[in-house]
Amino acid sequence: MQPEYDLAALKSFFKENSSFVILSHCRPDGDAYGSAIGLGLILKDLGKKVVVHIEEGLQEHFRFLPGSSILQTPPPQAPDPCAKIILVDCSNANRPGSYFESWSRKVDLNFDHHIDNTLFATLNVVDPQASSTSEVIFRCIEKLSLPCSKEAASNFYVGLLTDTNAFCFRSFPPETFELAAKLVRLGADPEQLSVFSFRNYPLSRFYLLREVLNQTQFVEQSQIAFYILTQDMYQRTGSVPGESENFLYYLQMVNSVIVAFMLEELSPVLTRLSLRSSKNFDVRQVASKFGGGGHKQAAGARLKLGLEEAKRAVLSEIKALLR
Amino acid sequence: MQPEYDLAALKSFFKENSSFVILSHCRPDGDAYGSAIGLGLILKDLGKKVVVHIEEGLQEHFRFLPGSSILQTPPPQAPDPCAKIILVDCSNANRPGSYFESWSRKVDLNFDHHIDNTLFATLNVVDPQASSTSEVIFRCIEKLSLPCSKEAASNFYVGLLTDTNAFCFRSFPPETFELAAKLVRLGADPEQLSVFSFRNYPLSRFYLLREVLNQTQFVEQSQIAFYILTQDMYQRTGSVPGESENFLYYLQMVNSVIVAFMLEELSPVLTRLSLRSSKNFDVRQVASKFGGGGHKQAAGARLKLGLEEAKRAVLSEIKALLR
């Protein structure tokens, strides 16, 4: 299933180098953390020097990930030149955040599963068919016969679990389930990891969800559903931005909804757009109009507009494509 | 893994009889429908005469199940005496509903996975370790080398998917994932079946969820969360009782919550209680105080009390057990 890549080159890369810096994208999700920490633990167990950097560091919700102390917020200065740079779950080299640009370093290795990956690294292992970057990495680990601890397997399991929305809403083959079975055999605990991944939220998130559902709007014969997240809503409920991840799922549960989106106020002139779709509607087309990207059924962008203007612009693009 | 049962007797039972009536429980969920219809299709493909009965017939939300036309609402009179009676996903012989009692028929075969199963049938195939009754049946089908069509596999997949809450929140072994992989190889489509199972709700259910979240209360340092469902709420939102299935899940997402429950007004003097728990709290103990039963982490009962009295009684039992 996995597309062609140079396995021998990958083997040499891990063998011949002794220091690695693993980066993943900002606004990290379960696969960003899981694939980065999982790979970090694998390399550490090989006796390598490893640091993992994610712009936000280790967020509260992901503290359960075993071995997560390997993760640090990135320093402003670039690492030692002999440390090799690996990007995981990033479709392009801008995804880690502005600190990485300031380092002015090339990317040596890139593990990813996004279809719009720009193959920016010296060595690219990209499989758009894979459920998650964790899957891409674990399949390589298997092929290279590298040892995978219970801790690393648990991280990869969380990547797989969260990027497939608990084995739902993506097209994937039986091999994805067989991979999950392998990770469980290596020690990943499906019950514990799912409780931590999906039921580990503070009460503030419940209050935020309540506000979001209360102001959700359905338009165009309920084919489009959307909500707007203001800074005020975070303050009122005592919640933080990361806690609104996956709220679009509640809108997508309505069978008439083809496109669900949300707009988040980052500043009075900057708005984050997040889009989800069903039934073959390609939300990447909408995101790309605003300079963003993603998958066919999940995409996003940042708009240099206030909330109201952004709402009008996005609704107008979606309506045009729906016709 | 599966406990002892008489495989030879099961083989003869299917071979020597030509007419089967399959029943499952009232207030049917995905496993009630999936295991009943799946088994029905298997027997039909063997050239047997098969009818499947569920008290409510085929509910709107489950119309997507392939081959579901095999399902009928039960008639008041008992079937022909030579038709063998099979109960699936029922821990006791009262679960199908009052019509079955009035038939005055013994149960010939019982497939189930509930720990409190009373082994009421002539032949009992009960595995409390199994994720779902669909799993119990599919493992027998495999052992007996009976053909399993894409349609039957899809029904079993829905049973597995819904009873494990999409492979979450239950302790299960790697074999459960391998079973999912087998069903997918037989033709079950994980994406399509998960969309139908979890995203196939009318807008009215969204409005009901909104009302439920708005009136959810957290008590005892937010260790207990609960809501009350009145007939008025159904009418106001245009929704029907079945649509509130799984709403307790949203309360369980809050990390402080140990017990979540809901009370549904069936009449001014009859209240349905549904309980869910985390962290080793056994809700069967609460349900059994009111004459109900279930699993350790999911149980229920019917109380001959009005909503307010029921609320006080249930809260008092839970508080006593929490201490």
Q: What is the pLDDT of residue B172?
A: 85
**Span between the terminal Cα atoms of chain B, in Å:** 36
Q: Which residue of A has its CA nearest to B171?
A: A191
CATH 3.10.310.30 at A203-322, yes or no: yes
Residue of A255, A259, A281 to mutate, testing the B interface (most B Cβ within 10 Å of its Cβ): A255
Residue B219, pLDDT > 50, answer yes
Q: Do domains A7-198 and A203-322 have the same CATH topology?
A: no
pLDDT of residue B169 exceeding 80, the answer is: no
Please check whether residue A93 is in contact with residue A108, taking contact to mean a CB–CB distance below 8 angstroms.
no
* Option in B170, B189, B202 nearest A255 (CB): B202
Say whether B255 and A199 touch across the interface (CB within 8 A).
Answer: yes
**What mean pLDDT, rounded, does chain B reach?**
94
Strand ranges inside A62-138, DSSP E: 71-72, 84-88, 109-112, 123-126
pLDDT at A246: 82
What radius of gyration, in Å, describes the C-alpha atoms of chain A? 20
* Res. A1 pLDDT band, cuts 50 70 90: very low
ipTM of the complex: 0.88
- CB-count exposure of residue A76 (10 Å: 0-12, 13-18, 19+): exposed
Secondary structure of residue B238 in the 3-state scheme: coil
3-state SS class at B232: helix
Alpha carbon of B101: minimum distance to chain A alpha carbons (Å): 37
Rg, Å, chain B Cα set: 20
> What pLDDT is recorded for position B281?
94
3-class SS at B315?
helix
Confidence of residue B3 (pLDDT cuts 50, 70, 90): low
Residue B84 and residue B108: Cα distance in Å, rounded?
6
Task: Give the minimum alpha-carbon distance from B212 to chain A in angstroms, rounded to a whole number.
Answer: 10
CB B150 within 8 A of CB B189: no
Kindly give, in sequence order, each residue whose CB lies less than 8 Å from that of residue A108, ignoring residues fewer than 6 positions away. Answer: A13, A84, A85, A86, A121, A122, A123
From chain B, the residues in CB contact with A214 under 8 A are 210, 214
In this predicted model, what pLDDT tens digit does every residue of B257-279 receive, in sequence order?
A: 999 999 999 999 999 999 999 87
Q: Which residue of A has its CA nearest to B173?
A: A184
The one-character DSSP state at B114 is -
Contact A218, A254 (CB under 8 A): yes
Distance from CA of B179 to the nearest CA of A (A): 9
Domain boundaries, chain B: 7-198, 203-322
Query: Which residues on chain B are in Cβ contact (under 8 Å) with A278?
Result: 195, 199
Q: In this predicted model, what pLDDT tens digit does every residue of A75-111 receive, in sequence order? A: 999 999 999 999 999 999 999 999 999 999 999 999 9
CB contact under 8 A, A203 and B256: yes
Q: Which CATH topology does B7-198 take? A: inorganic pyrophosphatase (n-terminal core) (3.90.1640)
Question: Which residues in chain B have their CB less than 8 angstroms from residue A255's CB?
Answer: 199-202
